[in-house]
């Protein structure tokens, strides 16, 4: 097992994890709901609660806005009156909100242990080594445009911003990668190899002009010829939720529902995306299903909480099932519980900030540049 020590930037932004006090562990559901509503009422316009699509129902019902990570970070910045942004999502999302927030706003994450396994697969020091090793392999790094998925740490976004690169989301990945190809000879896409491969292929990059960079191998596991041949270098990272979907599951669904359609998130593997009828971001999935004709049948390859919510919302007109019969749960997102949310809100009522996310100024400056470049791309 690889053990990686946190960098100073990561330590500062993660902060000290405080344990949830015992008194928040023994509340009934009704008591929890009443106290959460009361705290929300007390804080009024000073508070905005953001809930990511993959968040559990007991939490998301208290959200003022729901959406994907970027939509939520923007919603927070637009809600100028709110002094406190409580982000019910994972760590990198709260960091993005802190980067984009107005100066008077503060961002809190109910449980600091709510991380993202994909974001953790790319560390700043590994990226610095990658850059050095690519140069040693004969690649002109000045002509590489680094592109990072928004599911990455602030430190990775800062490196990318400082090296002329840009952030992307699953919604705009194709437009952002096209922008980057206009500016460089090759791209380094991180941390999700699958989003990179699926999008690069859509843009016409053949698979044999892509190479996977493994940060745990010397020279990323590549020869000089491999590295120089690649137009698209893919960081070896993945989402542990979306890579659980398989082509066999698609075949089983089609056998049972020959008229049904499969829609997959682009964090799924290349084979799954190729076998699916449609692929796109969470917002694309929601929009497509809502607009689909009555009577249609869908298998959805994304996180189970979103699938269940769509299933309830669109039944009985449409049949919606998860592609994985056991359902794929984002366990780190699940760490944000109503108990943690109540503890954080009670703290605000009492004038105490629990679990504030603070991205250091220098990191924020470069990370914001990478985010701003993305926001300018249409």
| Interface contacts to ligand SF4, rule CB under 6 A | 54, 90, 116-118, 151, 239-241, 303, 330, 332-333
**C-beta of 333: minimal distance to ligand SF4 in Å?**
5
CB of 4 to ligand SF4, least distance (A): 17
In angstroms, the CA 227 to CA 229 distance is: 6
- The residue (of 54 and 84) whose beta carbon lies closer to ligand SF4 is 54
- Residue 215 DSSP class: T
Measured N-to-C along each axis, helices 91-100 and 154-162 cross at an angle, to the nearest 10 degrees, of 50
Nearest approach, Cβ of residue 118 and ligand SF4 (Å):
4
- From 286, 273, 207, select the one nearest 246 (Cα to Cα): 273
Q: How far is the CB of 355 from ligand SF4 (least distance, A)?
A: 17
- We find the least distance from the C-beta atom of residue 265 to ligand SF4, in angstroms, to be 9
Least spacing, CB of residue 69 vs ligand SF4, in Å? 8
What whole-number distance in Å separates Cα of residue 316 and Cα of residue 312? 8
Q: Please provide residue 353's backbone torsions phi and psi, each rounded to the nearest 5 degrees.
A: -100, 115
Tokens 């449609």: give the residue. 278
Q: Is the Cβ–Cβ distance between 255 and 166 less than 8 Å?
A: no
The residues pairing with 321 across neighbouring beta strands, listed in sequence order, are: 299
* 3-class DSSP assignment, residue 203: coil
Q: How many CA atoms lie within 13 A of 281 on its CB side?
A: 19
Shortest reach from residue 327's CB to ligand SF4, in Å: 13
- Please check whether residue 64 is in contact with residue 344, taking contact to mean a CB–CB distance below 8 angstroms: no
> DSSP H helical segments within the chain, as ranges?
8-14, 29-43, 57-60, 69-78, 91-100, 124-136, 154-162, 173-183, 193-202, 224-229, 247-256, 270-275, 282-291, 304-314, 338-350, 361-376
Cβ 306 to ligand SF4 shortest distance, Å: 10
Longest dimension (CA), the chain: 63
Query: Does residue 163 contact residue 249 with C-beta atoms inside 8 Å?
Result: no
Q: How far apart are CA 47 and CA 39, in angstroms?
A: 10
Nearer to ligand SF4, 184 or 191 (CB): 191
- Nearest to ligand SF4 of 50, 118 (CB atom): 118
Which tokens belong to 340? Answer: 């943690």
- Residues paired with 188 in a beta bridge: 146, 233
Q: Which is nearer to ligand SF4, 115 or 338 (CB)?
A: 115
* Complex with ligand SF4: residue 246 or 292, whichever CB lies closer: 246
Comparing CB distances to ligand SF4, the nearer of 276 and 330 is 330
The answer to whether 315 touches 339, Cβ cutoff 8 Å, is no
Nearer Cβ to ligand SF4 (124/303) = 303
**Smallest gap, in angstroms, from Cβ of residue 195 to ligand SF4?**
9
Compare residues 111 and 303 and give the one whose CB is closer to ligand SF4.
303
In the complex, what is the shortest distance from the CB of residue 59 to ligand SF4, in angstroms, rounded to a whole number? 14
């Amino acid at each position: 097992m690889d053990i990686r020590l946190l960098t100073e930037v990561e330590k500062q932004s993660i902060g000290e994890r405080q344990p949830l006090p015992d008194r928040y562990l023994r509340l009934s559901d009704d008591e929890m709901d009443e106290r959460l509503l009361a705290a929300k009422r007390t804080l009024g316009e000073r508070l905005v609660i953001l809930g990511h699509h993959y968040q559990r129902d007991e939490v998301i019902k208290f959200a003022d806005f729901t959406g994907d990570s970027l939509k939520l970070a923007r919603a927070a910045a637009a809600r100028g009156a709110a002094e406190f942004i409580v982000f019910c999502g994972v760590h990198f999302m709260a960091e993005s909100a802190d980067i984009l927030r107005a100066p008077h706003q503060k961002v809190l994450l109910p449980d600091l242990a709510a991380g993202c396994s994909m974001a953790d697969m790319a560390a700043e020091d590994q990226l610095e080594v990658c850059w050095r090793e690519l140069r040693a392999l004969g690649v002109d790094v000045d002509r590489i445009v680094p592109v990072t998925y928004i599911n990455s740490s602030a430190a990775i976004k800062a490196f990318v911003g400082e090296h002329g690169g840009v952030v992307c989301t699953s919604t705009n990945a194709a437009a952002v990668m096209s922008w980057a190809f206009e500016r460089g000879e090759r791209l380094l896409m991180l941390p999700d190899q699958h989003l990179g491969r699926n999008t690069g292929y859509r843009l016409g990059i053949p698979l044999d002009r892509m190479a996977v960079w493994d940060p745990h191998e010397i020279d990323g596991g590549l020869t000089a010829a491999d590295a120089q041949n690649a137009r698209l270098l893919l960081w070896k990272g993945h989402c542990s939720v979306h890579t659980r979907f398989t082509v066999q599951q698609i075949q089983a669904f089609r056998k049972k529902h020959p008229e049904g359609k499969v829609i997959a998130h682009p964090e799924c593997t290349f084979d799954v995306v190729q076998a699916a009828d449609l692929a796109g971001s969470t917002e694309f999935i929601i929009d497509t299903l809502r607009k689909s004709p009555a009577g249609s049948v869908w298998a959805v390859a994304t996180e189970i909480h979103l699938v269940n919510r769509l299933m309830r919302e669109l039944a009985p007109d449409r049949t919606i099932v998860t592609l994985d019969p056991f359902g794929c749960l984002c366990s780190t997102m699940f760490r944000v519980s109503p108990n943690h949310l109540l503890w954080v809100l009670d703290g605000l009522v009492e004038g105490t900030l629990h679990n504030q996310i603070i991205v250091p100024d220098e990191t924020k400056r470069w990370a914001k540049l990478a985010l701003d470049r993305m926001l300018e791309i249409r």
